[in-house]
Amino acid sequence: MRYGRGPEVLCDVDLTLPQGSFTFLTGASGAGKSSLLKLAYLSLKPSRGLIHLFGQDVSTLKSSELQVLRRRVGVVLQDFRLIDHLSVWENVALPLRVAGRTRSDYIPDVNELLNWVGLGHRRNALPPTLSGGEKQRCAIARAVIAKPDLLIADEPTGNVDPEIGARLLRLFAEMNRMGATVLIATHDLGLIENVSARTIHLQDGRLSGGRVPANKSGRTT
Ligand SMILES: Nc1ncnc2c1ncn2[C@@H]1O[C@H](COP(=O)(O)OP(=O)(O)OP(=O)(O)O)[C@@H](O)[C@H]1O
C-alpha cells in the first residue's frame, strides 16, 4: 500500500481476523496502523493485493454492495468525525437513523449507552463544545450503537483517563462477547494487559503475529 507515488507504507501484509476475535494492533508512530485500519474499513484501496470483508472480495462489489458492507462496520477514528451541528444524542443515534430504525424504538438504547460512556449529562451538547475525551466517548458510542459485526478503533482511549479507558475497554469486550469482531490500534500497553486478546505488531509497514488459524466455524471477517 502506498499513498500516490510515495513510498510503500504497508508491505506484504497478510492479516486474517477470525469472526468473533479480539485483536490489538500495536506499532510505533508512523508504522502504518491507521493505514491498515483504513484498508480494513474500506476507506482506502490497496495499491496491490486483495481485501475480503465478511467473506467477500471487495474489489468485485458494486458501490451499493460496498455501502451495505460498510454499515456492518463500526469505526472510531482518531479525529472522531462527529457532525458538529448535531447534538451528542443525535450523533450517537445516527447509525440507527440511517438504518431506518424507528426513533421511539431506539431512544432507550441511545440514552442507556450515553449513560454508560458517562455522557448522559452532555446529551444535548454540540461536539465543538466537548472536551477531547468527551468527543472520543461520543465517537465510540456512535460506533457501537448499531451493534456492528466488525468494530475498528484507532487509539480509542488516547484522550481519556485510565478509569474511563477501562470502562470503554469493557464496552469493547462486551461487544466482542455478543459476537462482534474487534480490531483496536493502540499504544496503550495498560489496555492490552487487561484483555486476553491477540496482539499483532506493525514495524516499518510489515506485520508480525498476523496469521492465525480460522476459528471453529472457519469463518473470517
Ligand atoms: N494521506 C496520506 N498521504 C501520504 N502519506 C500518508 C498519508 N497518511 C499516512 N501517510 C504515511 O503513511 C505512513 C504510515 O502512517 P499511519 O498514519 O498509517 O501510521 P500510524 O502507525 O497509524 O501512526 P500513528 O501512531 O502516529 O497514528 C507514515 O509514513 C505517514 O506519513
Residues 101-140 pLDDT 10s: 999 999 999 999 999 999 999 999 999 999 999 999 999 9
Could you give the 3-state DSSP secondary structure of residue 136?
A: helix
- Residue 147: pLDDT band (50, 70, 90) is very high
pLDDT, position 183: 96
User: Which CATH number does 1-72+148-221 carry?
Assistant: 3.40.50.300
Q: Is the CB of 6 under 6 A from ligand 1?
A: yes
* Segments of the chain assigned to CATH 3.40.50.300: 1-72+148-221
Helix and strand numbers (H, E) in the chain are 7, 8
**Pocket lining: 30 vs ligand 1, CB cutoff 6 Å:** yes
Is 31 touching ligand 1 by the criterion CB < 6 Å?
yes
Q: What is the DSSP letter of 48?
A: S
Q: How many CB atoms lie within 10 A of CB 197?
A: 17
Q: Examine the pLDDT at 77 and tell me if it is beyond 80.
A: yes
- Three-class DSSP category at 219: coil
pLDDT value at 212 more than 70: no
Greater pLDDT, 144 or 216 = 144
